[in-house]
Structure 1
């Protein structure tokens, strides 16, 4: 079974301190980050290895377990179970060599209690589920407005998956059976993908609703009018009522974000008007405002 030397991956010694591990991890993440190595499969693979190694070595309990059971290769997480199975086998062999005699029925009961049911007179090895894998997938907010088909490369294998529209930032998606192979024909581990959503839009997202702060000129706020905004699914027109105050909110139903795994359901878009005070007024504009001021004070 292939063995991953996490210390070698992070380029630290087995006696490295937590601080040394953290420093090495940050250095290698910067070196192999996908944003700095576009279309570089080798760097992408190294980036994943570095994250995997840090996940284990930065956790005191996982590191202790890894150090103790590293001889079991990628299945070090199940090292305790391996040793228990070996201990049971040694006990069985010791019993066989003793002077104690068993009847056929007693021998069968003993063999089954130690190793499970026997098939054809042969011992059946204990099965273990394979190691689970963890990965991160970075997407932008606009892309997850619709369902996304993605192809991930994991251990030189391509995994095709569909990310449903409306997925949340930080949400984890489980892909069954795409982890490490099981031991002794045990089930494969699973793949857990954490979704990281970057928002570079003017909208703020809270659940299924979107929020937008919209600048509104003073003249439209006073007189009313029609303005057009661009949403994720096209343009939308807003009718501004006369004498609209600063901070006024309007709700556009169904113009928010898709509801996760509920096709055709959308949240709302809440627009908040932010009044803009006119600047660089001409002399004529200043005179007109003075006339208005006189009228209002009469």
Structure 2
């Protein structure tokens, strides 16, 4: 089983605090994001390892297991629990390791030769005509990173991805977040000795290919507004993800005025028909290249204002 040093991946030592881990993860994720390293064939794998490191070290319980068992952290405690159960059953029958009844599942991330003969014999994995039972191990979980455009997530849809040389058709829920992970049961590695397959975990990377800024389920955009419409009022065509809408502009609208378009944001994850909002900020544009006549009119306007 390949051992991945999660501390080394994040550039930390084992004394790192939770805050240190969070900061290191953000730094490494930004630096090694596949979008920023399109010519690096290892970028996706490294980005996946960075996410895994954060998932493990950022969780106090998982970090404790990782520090204790190292490469075997995912199944180390299960081995210990199985050993305790076997010993307990064995003592009741005069057998130091016990024989156990029935079969139980244990998560295991490697092949048979990755664990010691001691564990193999203790679990009854003798093979041949030895008469011992074979403990069934769950297959290794697979992890993959998939990139989508922000415009792809406004509707729930099915999409086919190639993962581990297999085409997998996945339902992508509307409103999925950047960095969000979904689990597809049974699409991992085959189990050992008749055990269940592992699972597939897909982490989604959302690339913003729109002119909007996304914050959760809300979208934000700046809208240029000519000076005359801002002063006198009028109408303005606004771009939204579902097309253009016409807004009334109140007279004497100030620069930086923010308008809320309810329900024109990103769909809320797994809540059918529920959307965030779109916030439009007016940026009043001062006219350029004024003619002499226009300058004269502005001078007259300024003089008129000074009389008040």
TM-score band, normalised by shorter chain: 0.5 to 0.7
2: distance between equivalents of 1:48 and 1:234?
A: 38
**In the TM superposition, what is the alpha-carbon distance from 1:284 to its structure 2 partner?**
1.1
Kept after mapping to 2: 8 A contact 1:178/1:191: yes
Is structure 2 residue 125 aligned with structure 1 residue 116?
Answer: no
Instruction: Give the match's secondary structure for 2:137.
Output: coil
**In the TM superposition, what is the alpha-carbon distance from 1:128 to its structure 2 partner?**
2.2
Q: CA 1:49 to 1:158, structure 2 compared with 1: closer, same or farther past 3 Å?
A: farther
1: distance between equivalents of 2:176 and 2:148?
A: 10
Q: Over alpha carbons, which structure has the higher Rg?
A: 1
Kept after mapping to 2: 8 A contact 1:85/1:126: no
Q: CA 1:278 to 1:141, structure 2 compared with 1: closer, same or farther past 3 Å?
A: same
Paired residue for 1:216?
A: 225
2: distance between equivalents of 1:241 and 1:289?
A: 21
Paired residue for 1:102?
A: none
1:83-122 Cα shifts (integer Å, max 9, x gaps): 9989999xx9xx9xxxxxxxxxx75x8499434349xx94
Kept after mapping to 1: 8 A contact 2:144/2:163: no
Which has a greater percent of helix?
1
Q: CA 1:50 to 1:190, structure 2 compared with 1: closer, same or farther past 3 Å?
A: same
Is structure 2 residue 273 aligned with structure 1 residue 297?
Answer: no
Paired residue for 2:210?
A: 201
Paired residue for 2:244?
A: 235
**In the TM superposition, what is the alpha-carbon distance from 1:17 to its structure 2 partner?**
11
Q: CA 1:246 to 1:18, structure 2 compared with 1: closer, same or farther past 3 Å?
A: closer
Paired residue for 1:139?
A: 148
Kept after mapping to 1: 8 A contact 2:9/2:49: no
Structure 2 counterparts to residues 253-272 of structure 1, below 5 A:
253-272=262-281
Kept after mapping to 2: 8 A contact 1:170/1:194: yes
Paired residue for 1:149?
A: 158
Kept after mapping to 1: 8 A contact 2:138/2:198: yes
Structure 2 counterparts to residues 22-171 of structure 1, below 5 A:
35-36=38-39, 48=45, 78=75, 110=95, 113-117=98-102, 122-171=131-180
1: distance between equivalents of 2:152 and 2:205?
A: 12
Q: Unaligned stretches of 5+ in structure 1?
A: 7-15, 20-28, 38-42, 70-75, 96-105
Kept after mapping to 1: 8 A contact 2:33/2:47: no
Paired residue for 2:127?
A: none
Instruction: Give the match's secondary structure for 1:114.
Output: coil
Instruction: Give the match's secondary structure for 1:246.
Output: coil
Kept after mapping to 2: 8 A contact 1:174/1:192: yes
Q: CA 1:197 to 1:79, structure 2 compared with 1: closer, same or farther past 3 Å?
A: same
2: distance between equivalents of 1:205 and 1:243?
A: 29
**In the TM superposition, what is the alpha-carbon distance from 1:224 to its structure 2 partner?**
0.8
2: distance between equivalents of 1:51 and 1:87?
A: 35
The alignment's C-alpha RMSD in Å is 4.4
Q: CA 1:113 to 1:146, structure 2 compared with 1: closer, same or farther past 3 Å?
A: same
**In the TM superposition, what is the alpha-carbon distance from 1:184 to its structure 2 partner?**
2.1
Q: CA 1:266 to 1:79, structure 2 compared with 1: closer, same or farther past 3 Å?
A: closer
